[in-house]
Amino acid sequence: MTPFIQNIADSIKPFFSGWLYSNGNLGLTCTVFLIIYVAALLLMVKQARAGGTIPKVRRIAGLDAVDEVVGRATEMGRPVLYSPGIGDLTSADTLASFNVLGHVAKLIAKYDARMIVCNRTPSVQPITESVVRAAYFEVGKPDAYREEDVRFLTNDQFGYAAGVVGIMNREGVAALVLVGLFYAESLIFAEAGNQAGAIQVAATSSTSQTPFFIVACDYCLIGEEIYVAGAYLGQDRVRLATIVVQDWGKQFTLIVIVLGVLAATIGSFTGVKTNVIIDLLKLY
Amino acid sequence: MRRTLPMIITLVTGLIVIFNDIFISPAFNTLVQTYLIRSQTLSIATAYALGGMSLMRVHGHRIARKRDGWMNSVVLIAGFALLMVLGVTLPGGHNSVTYNWFYQNTAVAGGATVFSLLCFYIGSAAYRAFRARSLEATALLLSACFVMLGGTSIGSAISPALPQIKVWIMSYFNTPVIRAVSLGVSLGAFAQGARNLFGIERGYMAE
Amino acid sequence: MPWYKRLMGIDRRILYIILAIGISFPMFSPMGLPIPADVATQATWDFISNLPAGSNVLYSFDLSASGLTELKPTALVLARRSFELGHNVFIMALWAEGNNLGAIWIDPIAAEYNAVYGVNYIKLGFMVNPQAFLEQSRTDLYGACSGGIDANGDPLSSFPMMKNVTKAKDFDVVMSYNTGDPGPTIWIQQWYATENIPQLSSCTAVSTPTMENYFQAGLLKGNVGGLAGAAYIEKLSGQLGTATGGMDSQSMGHVIIILFLILGNIGYFAARKAGAVK
């Protein structure tokens, strides 16, 4: 460690060691970042609620296409198939998927179309049921809700894949909305959907599956766009305001990376083996 | 109250779990391990039971009304019942030889078969969609070819440079991009979690 | 119909047949192609091989049956290596399928090396709640393991090898055989980030870029990626098996897909030249 930073680290260690986890010397940094990030989030929420200006979110083609996709299925008189992925409730992708499901379910209820929701995780099943049921209630058509259209298939990954593909072909779905955490079954869904002639919108944060969705689906959200989906579709000011905090976080991280790279580069020229930026991040 | 109570429970339990990982506190530790973790495990186990019941209900209706493909539902329910009975009644339960025999020759074989479809699907997707429409698409195509060849035995047989090119592409192009996307995803997931925690987004409550 | 339209519109069943023939041909007539070396796989092999006798090695089967081809060879090789070197082998699973598959694959190897259950080999079972297990096991492994029982329902406290293994830190390494999530990511987040327990991974080919990323960052001490990694680890161990046999088929499959790419683009460029597509 850089000597003067080592002195700072040694002096603060006794203060924190009794009550804060060190977590590989990143405990303090992560805690401070967490506090600042959450504070910024709540600040933007307060500003949005008070009617302040919030930055605009750029157009996301995949999310704009959701309405088009549902409309097309309605015109063709064929159902939409929705999959919230294979993640459970601890996955942020699944939580994001509920927001999209609510929006799609309202459209389906409004247009008197049909949507089949296929769940892989049993703990997600009751929530997707209530989301879809609530959508029908909100639109004023509670009797139109069909319990058998929100199904738990199986907890087995490829049994789920086979089940979804079977439903796709038997029910002749016109549109596929795949929003959530996906793994190897992503290409099976996308390619089978393509073979069935369905229009497809996909969103996942999984970097290993995004390429398959990009190749085989009509619209695909990349990376953290899935977390924006709920706010974007509902055009809710408060939720849109929190999205800018994500971008601030990325900008801050970018600055730290650039500074760290500069420090490492200067260090390699001057023969200094320590990196000031890394040492500052690893204070405690 | 119907809206507020779940939000309060979410916020309080979420904060307890977060604080447990940040602050050294036997009290938080006990709360998390004794109560929250057990509650979560119980909820998951209950959810499995609910999922099974949902499955039986859907397929039971299908059989009762003799809808299209009702015979498949009979096979599903029979398989479900058989493995459940075997797992509960056999000595050794789901670790017994008989259970494993059924499991290996049905679920494992079926799962491996469906996974194998990926090979054919990637072939048809590659044929249909990989077009050199632009400079970026061409670069993608060429790097895909190098990586595919470099990662297999035939690449090593053609030229020792191919595996090196593959490693270079993966190390200097693929890894930085994955890190960049993962960084954004982590921050996004964090924001998503915070929104759920503070009740800003209530999708899980069907709102 | 112009030839390029027919080329671009070939029935996919023909493509599937060509792929099937190409992949199965080497199974009947092996080509004996060389196995490419892999740094991450070498690191995995070296890490396990350098652990002294008596080390506590935890193999976690976070997989489904889809991982059979790519992960089973690695699991067999490393289990044999661990038993040869006198490690204490613990197996468990964060996926329900992994619990059965792990036992089916490793039990015969344990018997082969005369491992004594509870002395140098134990099955901790399937953990219904991965987050809860990883969190609780950091301080109370027994409590995290379904209330202190092994996969057969016997109390962990009755086994000699569990006497000195009561928390996460007592393990010398964790190896996750994974086909998805929960997998190495959650192990790294919970056990490596907080307890600094070394992590290894064996993953399917599609997850290899992500795991390579972790390996390069030092979060994983090694990764065996896909069939190529499994074949290389078989080569390192000297026990050639199904992974090595599958590499010829994989090579043929990749070559055929590259040919498809070329054919598809020939049709595309011809169509573009004729003005049929933009």
- Number of residue pairs across A and C with CB atoms under 8 Å? 39
Helix axis angle, C39-50 to C68-85, nearest 10°: 30
Q: Hey, which chains touch A, using 3+ CB pairs under 8 Å?
A: B, C
- Nearest CA to B29 among C167, C211, A179, C36? C167
CA distance B199 to B128: 44
Q: Find chain C residues with C-beta within 8 A of A24's C-beta.
A: 193-194, 196
Mean pLDDT of B31-49: 83
Give me the residues of C, 89-118, that contact A with CB < 8 A: 96-97
Q: C116 CA to chain B: closest CA distance, Å?
A: 18
Q: How does pLDDT run across B125-172, given as a tens digit for each residue?
A: 989 888 898 999 999 999 999 999 998 889 989 998 999 999 999 989
- Nearest CA to B117 among C27, C12, C252? C12
Confidence of residue C4 (pLDDT cuts 50, 70, 90): confident
Mean pLDDT of B187-200: 89
Q: How does pLDDT run across C185-229, given as a tens digit for each residue?
A: 999 988 998 888 999 999 999 899 989 999 999 999 999 999 999
Q: C52 CA to chain B: closest CA distance, Å?
A: 31
Burial class of A32 by CB neighbour count within 10 A (0 to 12, 13 to 18, 19+): exposed
Checking if the pLDDT of B194 tops 70, the result is yes
Among C64, C70, C213, which would you mutate to test the A interface (most chain A Cβ atoms within 10 Å of its Cβ)?
C64
Number of neighbouring beta carbons within 10 Å of residue B96: 15
Among A29, A152, A235, which would you mutate to test the B interface (most chain B Cβ atoms within 10 Å of its Cβ)?
A152
- Nearest CA to B187 among A84, A178, A38? A38
Domain boundaries, chain B: 7-68, 132-198
Query: Are A187 and C66 in contact, with CB atoms under 8 Å apart?
Result: no
Q: Across the interface, do B23 and A20 touch by the CB < 8 Å criterion?
A: yes
- In A123-203, which ranges are continuous DSSP H helix? 125-139, 157-171, 185-195
**Residue that has been written with the tokens 């040694």 in this structure:** A10
Q: Across the interface, do A23 and C194 touch by the CB < 8 Å criterion?
A: yes
CA distance C185 to C200: 11
Taking phi first (over 0 means left), then psi (-120 to 50 degrees means alpha), and beta for anything else, what does residue C153 get? left
pLDDT score recorded for residue A164: 96
What global pTM score does this model have? 0.88
Checking if the pLDDT of C278 tops 70, the result is no
Interior angle at CA C222, CA C216 and CA C226, nearest 5? 100
Q: CA of C87: how far to CAs of C55, C57, C93, C119, C171, in Å?
A: 5, 7, 19, 11, 11
Q: Find chain A residues with C-beta within 8 A of C193's C-beta.
A: 23-24, 26
Q: B171 CA to chain C: closest CA distance, Å?
A: 8
Q: C262 CA to chain B: closest CA distance, Å?
A: 8
Token readout for C178 is 């994974």
For chain A, residues classed under CATH 3.40.50.720 are 61-234
Token readout for C171 is 């393990």
The domain A61-234 having CATH identifier 3.40.50.720: the answer here is yes
Q: How does pLDDT run across C172-193, given as a tens digit for each residue?
A: 999 999 998 889 999 998 899 8
Print pLDDT tens along chain A (284 aa): 888 888 888 898 888 888 888 777 788 888 999 899 999 999 999 999 998 888 888 889 899 999 999 999 999 999 999 999 998 888 899 999 999 999 999 999 999 999 999 999 988 999 999 999 999 999 999 999 998 899 999 888 889 999 999 999 999 999 999 999 998 899 999 999 998 999 999 999 998 899 999 989 999 999 999 999 988 988 888 888 888 888 899 899 999 999 999 999 998 998 887 788 888 888 88
Query: Are B124 and B140 in contact, with CB atoms under 8 Å apart?
Result: no
